[in-house]
Structure 1
Amino acid sequence: MALSRLLLLCMVASEVWNAETRPIDFVCDRESRRDMNTVAEMAAALADCDALKMLPSPIQLPCIKVHKASWERKSAQEKKGDIAATLRALSRSVSVVKTLSQPGCAATLLERLEHTVNNYLHIITHLDIRGSVESPLFSSTAESTHSLSTVLWTFSRLITGKMEWLMADLTHGCP
């Protein structure tokens, strides 16, 4: 029995070792994008964390407001730049707050949020989108909050809004 488990573990490990995840896989596989979105899990963990009633410092919220006609006129490269700039700002803001937080569930949740934001940023920045690179213009003014639940909600809207709209634009390159 133990030998068969060890063999199964070795087989799974070799498959994972050889797996390659590319940004195009993220674009073409909506289910992978859904699986990567752990905001609901973080929100549930937040409910169990009394230490995070209020953050020690405000976090800049991702810009989620979109004027549909303006968004549709942007090139894929501009949309990518808009999302990447928003994710960078969120990552920096979460990082600052994380350093001010006490150890425990608060620090763990902020670490997880920062890691998740950086994963999305890594994928977005490595998307191979042809076109001119223009500096992104944010479509709304940046707001900030001391509420992590508001940050999580807004981040979720960014992922399910602008990010999904960009992915829809890029699916033409999927096999």
Structure 2
Amino acid sequence: MALSRLLLLCMVASEVWDVQTRPIDFVCNRDARRAMNIVAEMEAALPQEQRGDIVASLKLLIEDVKVLKAASQPGCTSSLLHRLERSINNYLRILTHLELSQGPAESPALSCVPQSTQSLSTILWTYNRLLSGKLEGLMDNLADKCTPQ
């Protein structure tokens, strides 16, 4: 998160220096004002960071599921873990192939990613919160890219 803020500050500073106009030129020149407005860039960077956060969280969950699968006895829990692993992999494929204008997902700060666990109930709770919270938030941010059907 701190790295992305530093990057954002550098982007803003570079935009200000690129304008190289007098204050009156800023007032009189609409293009100069538009060149300094980086809100669209920042909004595009935000879904990239959100997607990176979700992808990193899903990768951690898939590793936790694999550890549980290896330690579990065959039967009901094993079947459940297999289904959960498939579901997580489906979300990972969708998110990594999601075409956003800014390229690949940005890696999040480690503080954004949940801690590893070996408790099935914690994994399910985390997965549910990830899907109903962070993923839905990302989808809300990307809703303007949807075409009416």
TM norm structure 2: 0.62
Question: Deviation of residue 141 (structure 1)?
Answer: 6.1
Show the counterpart of 1:96.
67
Structure 2 unaligned regions, length at least 5 = 1-42
- Structure 2: distance between partners of 1:140 and 1:81: 10
Q: Encode CA deviations 1:28-78: one digit per residue, 9 max, x unaligned.
A: xxxxxxxxxxxxxxxxxxxxxxxxxxxxxxxxxxxxxxxxxxxx8961111
- Structure 2: distance between partners of 1:90 and 1:126: 19
Show the counterpart of 1:157.
129
Does 2:56 match 1:85? yes
Show the counterpart of 1:22.
none
Show the counterpart of 2:102.
131
Task: After the TM superposition, list the runs of 4 or more consecutive aligned residues in structure 1 that deviate by more than 6 angstroms.
Answer: none
**Higher Cα radius of gyration:** 2
Does 2:140 match 1:168? yes
Report how many aligned residue pairs link the two structures.
104
Question: Deviation of residue 155 (structure 1)?
Answer: 0.8
1:119 aligned residue (90, 96, 108): 90
Asked if 2 retains the 8 angstrom alpha-carbon contact of 1:82 and 1:138, the reply is no
Task: Tell me the C-alpha RMSD between the 2 structures.
Answer: 2.1
TM norm structure 1: 0.53
Asked if 2 retains the 8 angstrom alpha-carbon contact of 1:77 and 1:130, the reply is no
Alignment of 1:1-175 (within 5 A): 75-131=46-102, 133=104, 134-140=106-112, 142-175=114-147
Whose helix proportion is higher, 1 or 2? Answer: 2
